[in-house]
Amino acid sequence: MLNRLKFSGEELRWRGNIYLMLALQFVTMMALYQLCRFAFYLYNISFFPGMTIERYVRIALGGMRFDLTALLYLNSLLILLSIIPFHFRFGEGYQRVLRWLFVVINAVGLAANIADALYYRYTLRRTTLSVFSQFQHEQNFLSLITQFLLDYWYAVIFFAAMVFFLIWMSRRFRVSGPQIRHLVVSYVGGTVGMLLIVGLVIAGIRGGFGESTRPITLSNAAQYATAPKDVNLVLNTPFALLRTARTPVIDKVQYFASDDEAAKLFSPIHLPIDSAAFQPLNVVVIILESFSKEFFGVYNQGEQNGNYKGFTPFLDSLVQHGVAYQYSFANGRKSIDAMPSVICSIPSIEVPYVLSHYSGNRVNSMASLLKKKGYYSAFFHGAPNGSMGFQAFANSCEFDNYFGKDEYNNDADYDGIWGIWDHKFMQYYARKMNEFKEPFYTNFFSVSSHHPYNLPEEYKGRFKEGEMTIYKCIEYTDEALRQFFRTASTMPWYKNTIFVITADHASAQIKLPVYNTAWGYFAIPIFFYRPGQNGGGIRPEIIQQIDIMPTILGILHYDQPYVAFGRDVLHDRTNPFAFNYLDNTYQAFRGNFLLQFNGTSPIGLYDFRKDRMLSQNLMQDLPDTVAVMENELKAFIQQYNNRMVDDNLTMEGRLSPGKNN
């Protein structure tokens, strides 16, 4: 409680305990960040057409989460110095230092927010640390800053006013002495208070307390965005700068003289494949957590002298009736890599796309493209809403609805860590789709095949444990899929549906030696199944996650151009090509070969089909193959990097006032 209100002439001075002072400082800064957000909007109002009060309130409330995280980051030293359980922290000299620390640190944060309001119209995204590399070679940086301050004098006045307010406020709020005079009790209480506050600060920086909660990042802002550009209002610039502080920056590359030259070898622009009428089939994409190809019997019939059975009896049977591929690869090693790869045909290079500086770029997605054809879309993930940033990413991809643990609304089926048990949530998924108007596109992401590899009580002891703890969970989710398809097959939409089954990434648990290799780390199932049609089983071709979107659109005879880094494997007759990134090395698969490239030169070429353990480097033996694959890979990288930096991932391109595109 504030324990004294003291008047000194015309001035008001408040004295209170140190914890209340910190709280008041944070409330003040949260209010100033909201003021900066509103100023950002007013200055760039033409970029946010159709804004409503309801929409802005949603932005402002969501932005508080990012404001708090940014302020906790910036003020972490101030907090620590304020809560250390020693009596010298109440001294006037010590408190004077803390007051100036508060002003200086937060003045920097306010300056970043105000400057970005001015700079936004040139970049159409919140500024990240890449801005420093952008201007690092400027010889007249001081002159640029001086001119900037002169041109935007009104922003300087706005900033000065807020800093003056911070100074005024810091002089009025003073800390009283220790509330408890007994030395031992005071230190014990202070230590307990310090530990409690440290825990709250960590939770605030991460964005929550849940075990399945990843630290929030730029892409999470989409959860509060009605329109894609709203993410830039939800965010604040200190958050964007701090969250990208250790994130590798994607730089433009110039392997070829121009991007047009690179496009002769690889272009992500897809044009309609034929003049056939669009076929409005339902699309159901199922992404399975950690389902390595190693776990399938059907893909590994030659292993263990032909005695390998695997742990997916249902999926093994379903593969035989679909279109599958012996050499199918993930484009990344994390769940957050899989989302843009599967849904948007965007791989991750160097850093997961959703964690990159460019996660706010406009992108194609199956949801946004099929929306133009009258499709309803929904994303299903049984985890607590917001977990892994999936809800935010689904929103940025323009899914119409998201169904998570909150919508399921029955904690009795919660596993206590990751989400609703797969066999329960898959039944909910099947029944929910029966409520949708056709045609629809849905995406499902499973949760149960994840550490600590537990099973529901009713399934314990039912599946073989094996040598890996994940085996029983793989078999359990396979059984959950059997039950899902049994239920779905009774639904009227079932026979008019294309099913795609894949994994987010390969498992960290590896038993078969061939999967403990540079290609095996990415080996996952990818197959297509349509009820009533026999696809012919496994084909000896290459496919990757980013091929899923263009292949589906090809099946539907989608008749509009779009941008995707994958290929339509059923209709594109060019050489199959796959890509992933491992240990700072680019990997390209083409024909029988795997090329490894360090960004400057090739470092390895392997016949991964015959030499499955990658024991023989063929670079010196096959220089022509190296040259062809190197050029193709360089074209891929140049198209990816340059389009990513230029925010040129849709056919509409990037429109930015003040810049030529």
pLDDT tens-place string over residues 102-115: 999 999 999 999 99
Last residue of a domain, one of 203, 228, 243: 243
State the burial class of residue 213 (Cβ atoms within 10 Å of its Cβ: 0-12, 13-18, 19+): middle
Q: What is the DSSP letter of 206?
A: H
Assigned domain for 612 exists = no
Lowest-confidence range among 221-235, 293-307, 404-418?
Answer: 221-235
In whole angstroms, what is the distance from residue 122 CA to residue 43 CA?
Answer: 13
In the chain, the N- to C-terminal Cα span, in Å, equals: 57
Q: Whole-angstrom Cα distance, residue 209 to residue 192?
A: 19
Note whether 352 and 396 are same-domain residues: yes
- What is the DSSP code string of 541-598? EEEEGGGHHHHHHHHTT--S-EE-SS--TTT--SPPEEEEEETTEEEEEETTEEEEE-
Tell whether 276 and 223 lie within a shared domain: no
Domain contains 626 = no
As a whole-number percent, the residues of the chain with pLDDT over 90 amount to 62
Q: Please report, for the domain that includes residue 475, its CATH number.
A: 3.40.720.10
Q: Residue 576 CB: number of other CB atoms within 10 A?
A: 18
C-alpha 413/C-alpha 252 separation (Å) is 48
CA within 13 Å, CB half, 264: 7
Is residue 419 assigned to a domain?
yes
Domain membership flag for residue 171: yes
The candidate with the shortest Cα–Cα distance to 155, out of 234, 40, 236, 34, is 40
How far CA 60 is from CA of 41, 66, 121, 347, 640, in Å, comes to: 11, 10, 20, 32, 33
Kindly state the tokens that stand for 129. Answer: 């640390």
| Rounded-to-integer distance, Cα 237 and Cα 116, Å | 7
Instruction: Give the total residue count for the chain.
Output: 661
The predicted model gives 384-393 an average pLDDT of: 86
Same domain as 93, residue 184? yes
| β-strand pairing of 526-529 with 497-503 | antiparallel
Domain boundary among 227, 243, 259: 243
Which pairs with CB-CB distance under 8 Å and at least 24 residues apart come from 152-160? 152/118, 155/114, 155/115, 155/117, 155/118, 158/39, 158/114, 159/107, 159/110, 159/111, 159/114
Mean pLDDT of 228-234: 85
Residue at a domain's end among 543, 559, 574: 574
Least confident interval from 345-359, 400-414, 483-497: 345-359
Which residue carries 């793989």 as its tokens? 474
CA pair distance 102, 112, nearest whole angstrom: 16
Residues 6+ apart with CB under 8 A from 81: 89, 98, 101
Flag whether 347 is in a domain.
yes
Pick from 337, 130, 134, 120: nearest CA to 229:
120
Of 237-246, 265-274, 370-379, least confident by mean pLDDT is 237-246
The verdict on whether omega for the bond into residue 452 sits within 30 degrees of 0, i.e. cis, is yes
Indicate if 280 and 231 belong to the same structural domain. Answer: no
- The confidence score (pLDDT) of residue 122 equals 65
Query: The domain containing residue 454 runs over which residues?
Result: 268-574
pLDDT at 6 > cutoff 50: no
- Residues in Cβ contact with 581 at an 8 Å cutoff, skipping those fewer than 6 apart: 332, 347, 348, 349, 350, 587
The bridge status of strand 440-445 relative to strand 562-563 is unpaired
* SS3 at position 164: helix
- Pick the range with the lowest mean pLDDT from 260-264, 477-481, 650-654: 650-654
Summary mean pLDDT of the chain: 87
Q: Please check whether residues 125 and 70 belong to one and the same domain.
A: yes
Tokens of 457: 């009580």
pLDDT in tens, 241-254: 888 776 667 889 99
Q: State yes or no: cis peptide before 439, omega within 30 of 0.
A: yes
Phi, psi of 43 (to 5 degrees): -70, -30
Domain count, the chain: 2
- Cα 53 versus chain centre, distance: 28
Predicted confidence (pLDDT) at residue 74 exceeds the cutoff of 60: yes
- Identity of the amino acid at 85: P
Tell whether 276 and 227 lie within a shared domain: no
Instruction: Report which of 653, 637, 502, 657 is spatially closest to residue 581, judged by C-alpha positions.
Output: 637
**How far apart are the C-alpha atoms of 355 and 358, rounded to whole Å?**
8
**Above 60 in pLDDT, residue 81?**
yes
If you average pLDDT over residues 525-537, what whole number do you get?
90
Hey, is 72 helix, strand or coil? helix
The owner of tokens 């408040």 is: 14
Structural domain includes residue 595: no
**253 φ, ψ (degrees, to nearest 5):** -125, 160
**Predicted confidence (pLDDT) at residue 588 exceeds the cutoff of 90:** yes
pLDDT 10s digits, 199-230: 888 877 776 665 455 678 887 888 898 877 78
Residues 152 and 282 in one domain: no
DSSP tag of 420: B
Q: Provide the 10 A C-beta neighbour count for residue 581.
A: 19
Is residue 63 within 8 A of residue 234, CB to CB? The reply is: yes
Query: Could you tell me which residues are beta bridge partners of residue 443?
Result: 285, 379
Instruction: Give the tens place of pLDDT for each residue, 648-657.
Output: 999 986 443 3
Own/partner pairs, 602-605, CB within 8 angstroms, 24+ separation: 602/626, 602/629, 602/630, 605/629
- From the list 477, 165, 427, the residue with the least C-alpha distance to 290 is 477
pLDDT at residue 655 in the model: 40
**Which residue, chain included where needed, has tokens 């015309």?**
10
User: Looking at residue 597, what is its pLDDT?
Assistant: 94
User: What's the rounded mean pLDDT across residues 70-81?
Assistant: 91
Q: Are residues 239 and 273 in the same domain?
A: no
For residue 653, the model assigns a pLDDT of 62
Domain contains 218: yes
Residues 413, 536 share a domain: yes
Do 314 and 463 lie in a common domain?
A: yes
Task: Report the alpha-carbon distance of residue 230 to residue 258 in Å, rounded.
Answer: 33
Let me know whether 186 and 314 are in one domain.
no
Q: What is the DSSP string of 434-476?
A: TTSPSSEEEEEE--SSSTT----GGGTTTS---SSTTHHHHHH
* Residue 123 pLDDT class (50, 70, 90 cuts): low
Asked if 32 and 80 sit in the same domain, the reply is: yes
Find all residues with CB under 8 Å of 73, minimum gap 6, and list them.
205, 238, 239, 242
519 lies in some domain? yes
